A = this chain, B = another copy of it.
Amino acid sequence: MPDTLDPEIASRLKRDDHGLVAAIVQQHDTGEVLMLGWMDDEALRRTLTTGRVTFWSRSRGEYWRKGDTSGHQQYVKSVAIDCDGDALLVRVDQVGAACHTGERTCFLAGGDLPAVVGSRPEVAP
């Protein structure tokens, strides 16, 4: 296993001031958006080469592999990069809850904000 991220991939990343890109985690079959995490080059390398999702924890300043403490592993199905290289879409098979609160997703844990719903204009038939 290579111990640095493929330079061709590394050259496509547009990292923030802390060297990180956002990683959206989505359940591969249901389409549920489970959580948002952060990856540096090494976290992405581990994610691409091991079949398990690894993040960089901004609060703890360390790598963490989802499931190592909770048992709620994320198994990688695919990893896509966006058009400008500052976001990743990681499709996974999530065991149990993705959120540390025990909810299936971090967005169910936080909940909906009150929002005005918009609709595309009606088009005359």
Interface residues in chain A, defined as those with a beta carbon under 8 Å from any beta carbon in chain B: 6, 9, 12, 16-17, 22, 24, 26, 30-33, 35-36, 47-52, 73, 75-87, 89, 93, 95, 99-101, 103, 106-120
Query: A78 to B110, Cβ gap below 8 A?
Result: no
CB distance from A40 to the nearest CB of B (A): 15
Copies in the assembly, this chain:
2
Please report the C-alpha to C-alpha distance between residue A22 and residue B16 in the assembled complex, in whole angstroms: 12
Query: A118 to B52, Cβ gap below 8 A?
Result: yes
Query: A78 to B33, Cβ gap below 8 A?
Result: no
Known contacts: A22-B22, A82-B107, A89-B33. The answer to whether A50 contacts B116 by CB under 8 A is yes
Q: Could you list some 9 contacts between A and B, CB below 8 A?
A: A24-B33, A26-B33, A36-B87, A73-B120, A78-B115, A79-B112, A79-B115, A82-B109, A83-B103
